[in-house]
Amino acid sequence: MEAIRPFLQNLFSDPEILRFPLSRFLQKPLARMIAKKRAVKVADAYLAMGGKSPQVEITAAQARALAEELGGDYEVFVAMRYWHPLADEAVQKAKEAGIGRIIVLPLYPHYCRATTGTSLADLDRAIAEGGLSHLPKVVVRSWQDYGPYLDEMALCLKERLRPASTILFSAHSVPVSVIEGGDPYLDHIKATVAGVMERIGGGHRHLLAFQSRTGPVKWLEPSFEDSLRALAAEGVKDVTVIAVSFVGDHIETLREIDAEYKELAHSLGITDFSRAPSLNVRPGFIRALAGLSKCAVKV
């Protein structure tokens, strides 16, 4: 719980997350103010999850499973963007291990400057400051249409899908200005949706919606809430959700979808509402990550 506020402060101090006139001078004090306010707002959600986010533990488990899948020629280190283990910590561990080559594998399947972009920039800084810039490095920038990943996503969906379900793909929203600036995020999300539906086959209607919007800017639409209301107005009673831009459970799946949106769905008359399981440490997903890593080495 004590990490919520500093995490949020780091998040909103990132120029890729919060851009506005004079942000060079005003961003840090504004970030402190936003973090203080939002920390209070989200505290109950984290308390409901046991007083912490499971994301670090899940990511660490993914790293261990990936290392085992790849074998002895590889070591896997975790670098997070806004809280520990930070990029500097990961680079230091890699340096101590005596690595000879770097493969950078973001756990964002879909490239966006506000997620993958800022994480890669932060890692490059840490690599330079850590004295590893001389090592060969290859970066997997995105993997939105990688077959083994899509296969496992489709299997996740099939585990919850009912014959009468409308499928609602949920992706993390981004400001429209990001997409208008040439960012490929939306196209990448659509490619994943198309790939999953190709594997699911016909017979199910599907929609794409966006969650987790904050701030007074125009965000990608439709929102998850508006999509639920529209489906309910049509008389839809059965919805199966798949969170398409996350590869592990955290507050946006366990609370936002599983609790808040589920409650909204039921209040609207959608009686059957469920979410496909997240990828987490599913063996098929770990094999997909291993495949991406080995393909990167061959490039």
Q: Enumerate the domain spans of the chain.
A: 4-47, 55-144+283-298, 147-275
Rounded Cα distance, 215 and 225, in Å: 16
Q: Does domain 55-144+283-298 have CATH number 3.40.50.1400?
A: yes
Task: Tell me which residue has tokens 């009468």.
Answer: 164
| Four-residue CA torsion sign, 123, 127, 128, 130 | positive
Neighbours of 247 (CB within 10 A): 22
Cβ neighbours around 150 below 10 Å, total: 23
First to last CA, the chain: 42
Q: How far apart are CA 205 and CA 193, in angstroms?
A: 12
Given a contact cutoff of 8 angstroms between Cβ atoms, the answer to whether 170 and 211 are in contact is yes
Supply 159's token pair: 């585990």
Report how far residue 45's alpha carbon sits from residue 177's, in angstroms, rounded to the nearest whole number: 29
Q: What is the distance between the alpha carbons of residues 224 and 257, in angstroms, rounded to a whole number?
A: 9
Number of Cβ within 10 Å of residue 6's Cβ equals 14
Task: Identify which has the larger pLDDT, 217 or 85.
Answer: 85
Q: Which residue has the higher pLDDT, 17 or 210?
A: 210
pLDDT tens by residue, 260-298: 999 999 999 999 999 999 999 999 999 999 999 999 988
DSSP-assigned beta bridge partners for residue 200: none
Q: If pLDDT is split at 50, 70 and 90, which confidence band does 255 have?
A: very high
Contact 293/70 with Cβ under 8 angstroms? yes
The per-residue pLDDT for range 156-180, each reduced to its tens digit, is 999 999 999 999 999 999 999 999 9
Q: pLDDT at position 20, please?
A: 65
**CA 221 to CA 241: how far, in whole Å?**
17
What phi and psi, each to the nearest 5 degrees, are found at residue 206? -140, 150
Q: Are 109 and 188 in contact (CB under 8 A)?
A: yes
The residue-averaged pLDDT of 101-112 equals 98
Residue of 45, 33, 32, 31 lying closest to 1 (CA atoms):
45
pTM beyond 0.85: the answer is yes
* Mean pLDDT along residues 62-79: 97
At 275 the three-state DSSP class reads strand
CA nearest to 245, candidates 176, 161, 159, 143: 143
* pLDDT given at position 229: 98
Fold of the CATH domain 147-275: Rossmann fold (3.40.50)
Q: b/e string for 12-29 if b means 16 or more Cβ within 10 A?
A: bbbebbbeeeeeeeebee
Same fold, 55-144+283-298 and 147-275: yes
Q: Could you give the CA distance from residue 7 to residue 189 in angstroms, rounded to a whole number?
A: 26
pLDDT tens, position by position, 234-245: 999 999 999 999
